[in-house]
Copies of this chain bind each other. A is one copy, B any other.
Amino acid sequence: MARPNVSRQKVLDAAAELAAAKGISATTVDEIASAAGVAKGSVYYNFESKEAMYSLLITDALERAALRIRAALNNAADGTAVATVVRAFLMGIDEHPAAGKVVATEMFRLDRPWNESLAAQRDVFFSTLQDALVRDGRESSVSDAAAVFGAMLMVGFERVVFSPSMSLERAVASAAR
């Protein structure tokens, strides 16, 4: 955007941080406004609804992550493709932990407003991982992609929430094997 709206970004950041800690439904618009330092009316000036706001947050985070791992795969050498993709994913979480936490908590949920785009991105993740498995000469069925996806999601979550001291390479090694 040519003229970035500063309030809008403050609201988005506060919303991500609060939802990462408390979950989306437990986060009220009043809290978001207060944490962002704006009035509630300003939240609704920038976003159509709470739902639309989180939908945007999640969709953006997922799209960035999907692009990131796809690009990583393109530059990866055969034999280290899976590790390269996993590393790219975990580095994405490092850059925006709050968004990562929100997405992780929503990943398993069905029947959510943003579920459609979430399912679409899930497919992107799976097919990228399948390609990476092929490049490394490994089994590459849907269940294999699911296993790697689950592993990197859980390891990333564990690292961000419970074990911040875990090194990136240790996390990669565990999730990519």
Contact = CB atoms under 8 A, between A and B. Distances in A.
A153 interface: yes
Interface string A141-177: 1111011111111110111010100100011011101
A104 interface: yes
Interface stretch (A30-38, A60-68, A109-117): A109-117
Count this chain's copies in the assembly.
2
Interface residues of A, number: 41
A146 B90 CA distance: 14
A153 B108 CA distance: 10
Contact of A108 (B107, B111, B112, B155): B107
B159 A154 contact: no
Nearest to A146: B158
A6 interface: no
Contacts of A157: 108, 146, 150
Name the residue in A23, A25, A143 with the highest tally of chain B Cβ atoms < 10 Å from its Cβ.
A143
Given A146-B151, A147-B154, 13 more contacts: A22-B110, A101-B108, A141-B170, A141-B174, A142-B158, A142-B166, A143-B171, A146-B154, A146-B158, A147-B174, A148-B151, A150-B155, A151-B151
